[in-house]
Amino acid sequence: MSQKILICDDEEGVRESLKLILGDLYDLVVIEDPELIPEVLSKNKDVKLTLLDVKMPKIGGLDALKTIKTSFPSVSVIMVTGYKSVEIAAEATKLGACGYIVKPFKSEEILEKVKKVMG
């Protein structure tokens, strides 16, 4: 049975790229608006991992991470970001993220990190 991953990114290009990399291996739920995360996660109880963009309008990735970790503690989160920032990485880890991917990413890196979580 394929496992489910939620992808939340406001950039179409990034969403499509992640779909390309992970689509053949996993069941994907892809959304643009981080405000929809709680609703989507409530509906899809089998989501094991969320890939979250750090920089998004309305609510930032770190806020979204907080929401996920409070309401859906069993869901693992990997942050995807445009720049290497020790502070944000540390903050994300503190908030419970299990990984951190820096753009422009390599497909192997994504696969490796996702496989580690999904088992």
Partner 1 sequence: MVILNPYAVPPLITSCTALILGLIVAYKSKTKLNQVFFRWCLCVFIWLFSYTICYSITDEKLATLLSKIACTAVLFLAPTFYHFNVIFFKKTKEEVFVKIGYLIDILMIPLIFSTNHILNGVHKFFFGYYVVAGKFYWITLLIFFSFSIRALFLLIEGLKNTALSPKEHQQTQYFLVAFSIAYLGGVDFLPKFGINIYPFGSFLFFIWIILMAYAILKHQILDIKIVIQKSLVYSLLLASLTIIYLLVVFCLESILQKVFAYHSVLIRILIAFVLGVLVLPLRNKIHQIFEKIILKATPIELAEQNELLRSEVAEKEKFKAIATLASGIAHEVKNPLSTLKTFIDYLPAKHNDPEFMSKFSRLGNQEIERVNNLVHNLLNFAKPTPPEFKATDINKLIEETIGLIENSAQKNNITIHHSSQSTVHSSLSLDQNQIKQALLNILLNAIDAMPNGGTLTITTLSKNKFYEIEITDTGSGIAKDDLKHIFEPFFTKKDTGTGLGLSITYGIVEEHKGKIEVESTVGVGTTFRIKLLLDHRRL
Kindly list the residues in this chain that would bind partner 1 in the complex (CB under 8 A).
11-14, 16-18, 20-21, 54-55, 60, 62-63, 82-83, 85, 87-88, 91, 103-107
Q: What is the dihedral of CA 28, 99, 14, 1, to 10 degrees?
A: -20
Min CB(15)–partner 1 separation in Å: 9
Min CB(46)–partner 1 separation in Å: 26
Evaluate whether 34 touches 64 at the Cβ level (below 8 Å): yes
Nearer to partner 1, 1 or 83 (CB): 83
End-to-end CA, the chain: 13
Nearer to partner 1, 38 or 60 (CB): 60
Nearer to partner 1, 2 or 90 (CB): 90
Min CB(74)–partner 1 separation in Å: 27
Nearer to partner 1, 55 or 69 (CB): 55
- Separation between Cα atoms, residue 93 and residue 105, nearest integer Å: 19
Whether omega before 104 lies within 30 degrees of 0, making that bond cis, reads: yes
Min CB(53)–partner 1 separation in Å: 9
Evaluate whether 50 touches 6 at the Cβ level (below 8 Å): yes
